Chain A
Amino acid sequence: SQKIEQNSEALNIQEGKTATLTCNYTNYSPAYLQWYRQDPGRGPVFLLLIRENEKEKRKERLKVTFDTTLKQSLFHITASQPADSATYLCAPSDYNQGGKLIFGQGTELSVKP
């Protein structure tokens, strides 16, 4: 069955460092992958989408990579700030899913000042 794995343990880092979050998937051939941010008591918010033919995508301090051979996406936040503290969810998808989006469990990031 299809499976999406994200770091189950919370990631604690110091302000200013780079945070790297991992999303691994199995039994998927996603055409694209999305990353979302979720704050406590709120719904997830879209951050970035990367397609299978894109190795890397950037948006301000965010960078996402997509390795279809390793079946993995990495999400980086450079020069992290306490305001980046949240849970980050990945969602791979392919065109056969007809718009359906399944999410990983998410990784909680805590950035300490």
Chain B
Amino acid sequence: DAGVIQSPRHEVTEMGQEVTLRCKPISGHDYLFWYRQTMMRGLELLIYFNNNVPIDDSGMPEDRFSAKMPNASFSTLKIQPSEPRDSAVYFCASSAGQSTNEKLFFGSGTQLSVL
């Protein structure tokens, strides 16, 4: 398996623009997580899905952020409109789902810069 695949690897955009980050989890994994990492706040959990259903989105900072998982092999995180404070590395991770203590596999992340 190729692991968790994220795209794009880097994204530079201007304030006010819509940004869409994409993730393909490992095949067969039931859980998918979106994290954001900054120097100040570390690795923050934004939202996670189980079997394509959002379970906990309490970490989503504002209504400008939305996430979808239309099928088991694809998820998106959208920011509309984007702001400079959204600049961070966004990670997607997946895990094999039957128990709650499965390890997470992370993608390489998307480095987002909002100018």
Chain A interfacial positions (CB closer than 8 Å to B): 31-32, 34, 36, 41-46, 49, 51, 89, 93, 95, 97-106
- Chain B residue numbers with a CB within 8 Å of A49 are 101, 103
Give the interface size class of chain B.
20 to 34
CA distance A97 to B31 in the complex (A): 13
Known contacts A93-B100, A97-B100, A100-B56, A44 near B43 by CB under 8 Å: yes
Bound together, the chains give a CA A38 to CA B108 distance in angstroms of 11
User: Distance (Å) between the CB of A21 and the closest chain B CB?
Assistant: 15
> A103 is contacted by which of B4, B43, B101, B108 (Cβ under 8 Å)?
B43
Number of A-B residue pairs with CB-CB distance less than 8 Å in the complex they form: 62
Q: How far is the CA of A32 from the CA of B100 in the complex (A)?
A: 10
Please, which residues of chain B bring their CB within 8 A of the CB of A36?
104
Residues 18-37 of B at the A interface (beta carbon under 8 Å): 31, 33, 35
Q: Is the interface of A mostly helix, strand, loop or mixed?
A: loop
Q: For residue A105, which residues in chain B have a CB less than 8 angstroms away from its CB?
A: 42-43
Q: Can you spell out 21 A-B residue pairs with CB atoms less than 8 angstroms apart?
A: A31-B101, A32-B101, A36-B104, A41-B108, A42-B108, A42-B109, A46-B104, A49-B103, A89-B43, A98-B50, A98-B55, A98-B56, A99-B48, A99-B55, A99-B95, A99-B100, A100-B45, A100-B55, A100-B56, A101-B104, A103-B45
Task: Name the A residues within 8 Å of B101 (CB-CB).
Answer: 31-32, 49, 51, 93, 95
Q: In the complex the two chains form, is A106's CB within 8 Å of B56's CB?
A: no
Question: Taking the nearest CB of chain B, how far is it from the CB of A99, in angstroms?
Answer: 5
Give A45 to B97 CA distance when docked, in angstroms.
18
Q: In B54-74, which residues have CB < 8 Å from any A CB? A: 55-56
Which of the residues A32, A44, A101 comes within 8 Å of B45, measured between beta carbons?
A: A101
